[in-house]
Amino acid sequence: MDLLKWFVSSLEVIPRVKYLSLGPLVDEFRALLTEQLDMNTEALNLKKLREDFQGHKHVFFPEPFYSTSDILIEQFIDGIPIRTFMTRDTKEKHTEAETDQRLKLSKIGMDAVFSMVFMNNFVHADLHPGNLLVTTAPGEDRPQIAILDAGMAVQLEPTNHVKLLGILMAFVKVSTLKPPLS
């Protein structure tokens, strides 16, 4: 981080670069990275997300067993990376069962994000395919998604959460009133 800070301060000697305010950006990046690397923060985030999704049939988070600022011991999740179910080639043929599985996983993922944003106001802020594992419920055939790496999470102040919900609902209302763009 010190090297990055030095590099940015060296660049800010250039007049036009100075207006980009890269110094404060590096400071913010340092603060976010420091917080994400604190394993106690991740353990607390996992506990909160586990509470929020308690009883959810399709989404779960690993249980943290022990943490310090440098160490986190958590439940091992045996699953398949969700990337396995994704494809970039839309011309690739899928069996009906594969397509059904992909649709189920998409719905589970959307439900999880909507629950975090709309219901819980506590959002896992590092959702990418590397943090999602597909498993099956013990003794059942229904898919589940395990969400890993909860080092970054966002919670809005209640008034800002209400404002965000209002904005999102306005988008929904407008998009149902107007025909889609061509």
Instruction: Name residue 80's amino acid.
Output: I
Residue 35's pLDDT is what?
66
Residue 4's pLDDT is what?
66
- Walk along the chain (182 residues) in steps of 10 and give the mean pLDDT of each run: 70 70 71 74 96 95 96 96 78 77 92 93 92 90 93 89 86 68 58
Residue 76's pLDDT is what?
97
Residue 47's pLDDT is what?
97
Residue 78 structure tokens: 């045996």
Residue 32's pLDDT is what?
63
User: How many beta carbons lie within 10 A of that of residue 76, not counting itself?
Assistant: 7
Q: Considering 2, 126, 141, 149, which one is annotated as catalytic?
A: 126
Residue 9's pLDDT is what?
72
Residue 173's pLDDT is what?
77
Q: Are 158 and 126 in contact (CB under 8 A)?
A: no
For this structure, is 126 an active site residue?
A: yes
For 148, residues 6+ apart whose C-beta sits below 8 A from its C-beta are 61, 62, 77, 131, 132, 133
Q: Are 154 and 36 in contact (CB under 8 A)?
A: no
Q: Are 63 and 74 in contact (CB under 8 A)?
A: yes
Residue 116's pLDDT is what?
94
For residue 125, count CB atoms less than 10 angstroms from its CB and return exposed for 0-12, middle for 13-18, buried for 19 or more: middle
Q: Are 36 and 45 in contact (CB under 8 A)?
A: no
For residues 54 and 38, give the distance between their C-alpha atoms in angstroms, rounded to a whole number.
24
Q: Are 32 and 152 in contact (CB under 8 A)?
A: yes
